[in-house]
Chains A and B, each alone.
Chain A
C-alpha cells in the first residue's frame, strides 16, 4: 500500500496505448477495452481536481464529469457480475470512490460558505440553540452570584478565584484611589495592539476549550462558565465595597458585552453537544452528536469573530475612552447590535439541498 502512494508522486502520465479491442479473446476484457478510454479520462479529471486547480480544468471536462462518473459506476456494477479480472475490479472501485469524493465533494467553497454564514447562517444557528443559551445564561448569572457570596463570606476566597499575577493592586483592602486607577485610561495607544492580539488569542482558546469540553455531556463546559463568572462576581464585590460598582460596570461593558456573549455562546454550543448526546431523542447517539457538533461548530466560528471584536474593544476603546457614560454607550451599542443580529435579523433561507 505504501510504495504505490509514494511512487505515484513521481511517476505521472506515461500511459501505454490500450491494445486492439478485437485482439482480446475474452468477452469481459473486450468490455473493459471498450470503456477504458472513458475511465482514463475520468481519472485524469479527478486527479486534476484533487490538485486543486478547478479553474484550470476546461469546461468540457467539468461538464463531462457527472456522465463519466456514472459511466464508471455502471461499468463497475456490470463488471462485478461479468468479469473475474481482479485488477480491473480493484481499479474501478478505487476510481469510482475517488470520483465520488469529487462529484459529491464539499457543496461549496469556503468563500461561499462564509458569505452564507454571515448573511443569516450564523444567527439561524444561534437561534436554534436557544434552550442551551438560556441554560448557559442561568449558569453564568448563578456563577457570578456564587463568586460574590463566596468572597463576601470569606475574603480568602478572593485569592483562590482571582489569579495573583493578573491584578496585583486589585486585592481586598485596596483603597478607592488604587481601584479607580485600574479603571483609568492609557495616555496613548502604544502597546495596546499587542495587548489586543494577546487577548484575542487567549480568549479564543478559552472559548474553544469550553466548546470542546461539551463532549463530556456538557458538565465541564458549565463548570468552566461558573469558574469564569465567579471571578467576575469576586471582582464586582471588591469594587462594590468601595462604591465603584457603576464605574466597574461601565469599564467592563465596553468589551464585556461582546466577550461575555461569546463565552455564553461557546458554553451553550458545548452544552448543546453534551445535551444531545445525553438525550439523543429518536436518533442514534452518534448521529445526534454529529448533528449537534456541526451546529456547534458554526457557532464557534462566530465566537472567534466575536473574540476579535472583543479584543479590539478591550484594547483600544476601553483603555482610551474616559467616563462612565461613553463607556456604557459603547457597551450598550455592541450588546444591542449582537441581540439584533442574532434574534431580529432573519433573512430568508437560501434555496439549497439539505444534504
Chain B
C-alpha cells in the first residue's frame, strides 16, 4: 500500500497521497459522496432512457409484424417475434451489467456520468487497475443499491396498503440499508464494491497551464511601470514581511482578480511595508512586488530556507 492518509492539509479531508513507481508523491483528491451519487444518477437515467427507447423501438417493430395479418396475433410470423423477444432479454441484461463494465475498463476509467462530474476509478494500492477489479466492483452494485432500494420501496408500498410489517422485514431493511450507507461509515467513502475490488473513486484534475507571470508587465521590466515610468524597488526589510502563502495568494489575485480587488490588495501591502499608497498604477506595483518577493523567496529556498507565511 503506497497510499497513505495526509493529515497536513487542513480543509482537504479528501486529500490523499499516491506514490508513483518513480517515488514521486502525487496528491489526489477522493471524489465526494455527492458527486458520486450525481454520477450514478446520470448513469441510471441514461440506462433507463436508453432501454425505454429500445423497448419502444421493439414494440414498434413488433407492431409492424402484426400488419397485414388482420391484427391476429396467432398469424404473425412467429420466428420474428421470438427473435425480438430474445433480443430484448439479452439487450437488457447486457446493458445492465455491461454499461458500467465496458466504460470503466476504458482508458478514462469512468462512465459517462462520472466523466460529467469529473471523477474516475483508480486502484487503491496505487498500482495498475486490473480488469478483474472493475468486474468485481460492478458485480456488487446490484446488491448494494438496487436490492436495498427495491426492498425499502416494497416496504413503503406495503405500509401504505395497511399491511402489518413483521420484525423480519425491518431487520432485512436495516441490513440492506447498511450496504446502501456503507460509504458514510469509512474514511475513504468506499462502497462494498470498492472494498471487494480494491478500488476507490478519485477526482480527475483538469488544470490548464497558466501564463508565466514574470514575463508580463512590470515583473518583466525589473519593476518599471509602463504607465508612469516609475521603477519599483523593494528592500530586504520590505520583502521579508510576507511568506509563501501570501505570495501564492497574490499570484492568484494577479491571475484572476478584477482591478478593484487589486486596489485593496495594493493598499494593504503598502500599509504593511510602510509605503504611501498611490493611485492608478496598482497592477504594475503588485507585479513588481510579486516578482521581487518570489525571487527572494526562491533564492532562499535554494539555500534550504523556507518561509511558509508571514507569521513564520
Q: Give the interface of A toward B (CB within 8 A).
A: 1-2, 4-5, 8, 16, 18-20, 23-29, 32-33, 36, 39-40, 49-50, 52, 54, 70, 73-74, 76-77, 81-88, 90-91, 93-98, 100-102, 104-107, 110, 113, 190-191, 193-194, 196-198, 200-201, 204-205, 208-209, 211-213, 215, 273, 284, 286-287, 289-298, 300-301, 355
Tell me whether B107 and A91 are in contact (CB under 8 A): no
- Name the segment of B42-50, B118-126, B262-270, B278-286 touching the other chain: B118-126
Given contacts A24-B212, A191-B82, is CB(A1)–CB(B196) below 8 Å?
no
- Please classify the interface of chain A as helix (H, G, I), strand (E, B), loop, or mixed, using the class held by over half of its residues: helix
Could you give, for residues 188-227 of chain B, a 1 whenever the CB lies within 8 Å of some chain A CB and a 0 otherwise? 0000100111100001111111111111000110100000
A96 and B252 within 8 A (CB): no
Closest to B109 in A: A101
Asked whether, in the complex, the Cβ of B118 is within 8 Å of the Cβ of A5, the reply is: yes
Whether B142 sits at the interface, judged by CB under 8 Å, is yes
Are A23 and B143 touching (Cβ within 8 A)? no
- Most-contacted residue by chain A among B133, B136, B247 (CB, 10 A): B136
Q: How far, in whole Å, are A100 and B123 apart by their CA atoms in the complex?
A: 12
Give the distance in Å from the alpha carbon of A82 to the alpha carbon of B298 in the complex: 6
User: With a CB–CB cut-off of 8 A, which chain B residues contact A25?
Assistant: 214-215, 219-220, 222, 291, 295
Q: Which B residues from 71 to 118 make CB contacts under 8 A with A?
A: 78-79, 82-83, 85-86, 89-90, 92-93, 97, 102, 105-109, 116-118
Closest to A266 in B: B139
A82 / chain B contacts, CB cutoff of 8 Å = 298, 301-302
B26 sits at the interface (CB 8 A): yes
Cβ A98 vs Cβ B204 within 8 A: yes
**Stretch from B16-24, B149-157, B161-169 forming part of the interface with A:** B16-24
Best-buried of B116, B131, B222 by chain A (most CB within 10 Å): B131
Contact check, B248 vs A73: say whether CB atoms are below 8 A apart. Answer: no
Q: Are B139 and A101 in contact (CB under 8 A)?
A: no
Asked if B244 CB lies within 8 Å of chain A CBs, one says: yes
Do B128 and A355 have beta carbons less than 8 Å apart? yes
Looking at the assembled complex, report how far the CB atom of B4 sits from the nearest CB atom of chain A, in whole angstroms. Answer: 13
Point out the residue from B1, B120, B210 that lies within 8 Å of A287, measured CB to CB: B1
Which of A52, A83, A94, A294 gathers most chain B CB within 10 Å? A294
What sequence of 0s and 1s flags, for each residue 232-261 of chain B, a beta carbon within 8 Å of any chain A beta carbon? 000000000000100110011001000000
Instruction: Flag if A1 contacts B203 (CB, 8 Å).
Output: yes
Once the chains bind, are B301 and A84 in contact (CB under 8 Å)?
Answer: yes
- Given the interface contacts A91-B209, A204-B93, does A84 sit within 8 Å of B248 by beta carbon? yes
Contacts of B219 in A (CB 8 A): 25-26
Which residues of A lie under 8 Å from residue B97 when comparing CB positions? 208
Bound state CA distance, A4 and B106, in angstroms? 23
C-alpha spacing A284/B255, complex, angstroms: 46
For the complex formed, measure the closest distance between the CB of A240 and the CB atoms of chain B, giving whole angstroms: 33
User: Which of B27, B106, B120, B198 is the one whose CB lies under 8 Å from A293?
Assistant: B198
Do the beta carbons of B118 and A294 come within 8 Å of each other? no
Pairwise interchain contact B213-A85, C-beta atoms closer than 8 A: yes
Q: Which residues in B have their C-beta under 8 angstroms from that of A1?
A: 118, 203
| 17 extra interface residue pairs, beta carbon distance < 8 Å, beyond A201-B89, A355-B128 | A5-B206, A23-B215, A24-B220, A25-B214, A25-B222, A29-B213, A33-B212, A39-B209, A85-B213, A91-B208, A94-B206, A104-B127, A107-B130, A215-B195, A289-B198, A290-B196, A290-B197
**Do B131 and A110 touch (CB < 8 A)?**
yes
Cα distance A351–B11 in the bound complex, in angstroms: 46
| Contacting pair B291 A50 (CB below 8 A) | no
Answer whether residue B135 sits at the interface, using C-beta atoms and an 8 A cutoff: yes
Residue of B89, B130, B196 touching A198 (CB-CB under 8 A): B89
